[in-house]
Amino acid sequence: MTDNIIRSSFDKGYVSKSLKDKEEVEVEDKPKSTKKTTTKKTTTKKTTSKTITSKTAPKKEDPKPQPTAVYSEGKLAHPALGRLDKGYNIVTPEQADEWMKISTKVRMATPEEVAIAYGV
């Protein structure tokens, strides 16, 4: 066949003859595993367990951060914070703090100010 062709380890599908020989020897050396059969012993010993009722605290709801209104004088965008449109925007308090550190175009808006702007 192609025995005259010199192959390297970079050729696709090339496995050296010495490796093939080792794999065959390892396969022959491995003893066949036999499956052991085990029997389960059952006992008639009765076990009783005492049920303990403990008073658990009611599940605490995760306190959702109160939304905060900010006023932006123009459109702003930040990869970590998102974007703000011109006007009033509802964000978390942490985001509001970060926006005010980043830009002078952003300020906190009072609830009354937002209510007047939206006619509520």
Chain segment 80-100, per-residue pLDDT in tens: 999 999 999 999 999 999 999
108 near 69, Cβ under 8 Å? yes
Would the pLDDT of 111 be above 70?
yes
Query: Is the torsion defined by CA of 26, 30, 32, 36 positive or negative?
Result: negative
Model confidence pLDDT, tens digit, residues 38-77: 666 666 666 665 555 566 666 666 677 789 999 999 999 9
83 near 76, Cβ under 8 Å? yes
Q: How far apart are CA 97 and CA 116, in angstroms?
A: 23
